[in-house]
Amino acid sequence: MDDRMVVALLRHGMTGANKKGAYCGWTNPQLCKEGVKQLKAIKHIPDYELIVASDLMRTKETAGILFPGKCLLPMSEFRELHFGEWEGKNHFELEKDSYYQEWLTSPFTVQPPEGESFGQFTERIEEGFSQLQNKMLADHRKSAALVTHGGVIRYLLMTYAPEEKNFWEWKIPFGSGYQLEWSLNSFGGGNRCTLLRAVPLTENQRG
């Protein structure tokens, strides 16, 4: 891969909680049957030298399906936002809660009760991504796949994609992802990548 440094960001497969529309941050459901079937239909995933995932079941299961037989490095830094008291509940169960409505209006400044602020969320992602980049450089790895969650991927794309978009503009369906590429000299230090492309998924679907 010459002097390119590549990091792919892949969202986990669907869970039963996702099908319900529940807030699923640090709760730990397994993939549902539909999610497993969708992942097994994915073709043409590139080979990556390092496979990393959040330490939750749904991402580790996804990594095992997409990269069978590969050694997996779990990192808690790449968990989804912790929704606190709202974990496992969906919008319809919460819509009469005035504080929840306040959070919907200002999700980047209002913190879920007993949960995690957006600032805390992004700080740990930045720490994890720095660790990942440093490990790749130290181990002379040119490519890595990070299997994680929708919110984590949106933040990393907002921060590192060559085209600037806000958090909600990035759409990441289950099992889809993007590949970010840097030159070796620009890798690390908070630099935006120089090339972004969808990772090939199924024969008739692109992420």
What burial class does residue 153 get, using C-beta atoms within 10 Å of its C-beta: 0-12 exposed, 13-18 middle, 19+ buried?
buried
The predicted pLDDT at position 200 comes to 65
Give the predicted TM-score (pTM) of the model: 0.94
- Token pair, residue 137, equals 């450089």
What is the tens place of the pLDDT at every residue in 48-82? 999 999 999 999 999 999 999 999 999 999 999 99
The predicted pLDDT at position 12 comes to 98
What is the tens place of the pLDDT at every residue in 142-174? 999 999 999 999 999 999 999 999 999 999 999
DSSP 178: E
- Is 141 annotated among the ligand-binding residues? no
- Model confidence at 45, pLDDT cuts 50, 70, 90, reads confident
Residue 130 and residue 179: Cα distance in Å, rounded? 17
Is 207's pLDDT higher than 50? no
- From the candidates 80, 82, 116, 149, which is the catalytic residue? 80
- Is 115 annotated among the ligand-binding residues? no
CATH architecture of 4-81+118-198: 3-Layer(aba) Sandwich (3.40)
The predicted pLDDT at position 156 comes to 98
Is 201's pLDDT higher than 50? no
- Is 192 annotated among the ligand-binding residues? no
Residue 206 and residue 69: Cα distance in Å, rounded? 25
Q: Where are the domains of the chain?
A: 4-81+118-198
- Model confidence at 204, pLDDT cuts 50, 70, 90, reads very low
Name the nearest CA neighbour of 85 among 153, 158, 23. 23
- Token pair, residue 111, equals 């913190």
On whether the CB atoms of residues 72 and 64 are closer than 8 A, the answer is: yes
- Is 124 annotated among the ligand-binding residues? no
Q: Say whether 12 is catalytic.
A: yes
- Model confidence at 9, pLDDT cuts 50, 70, 90, reads very high
- Is 128 annotated among the ligand-binding residues? no
Q: Say whether 34 is catalytic.
A: no
Is 3's pLDDT higher than 90? no
- Is 14 annotated among the ligand-binding residues? yes
DSSP 88: T
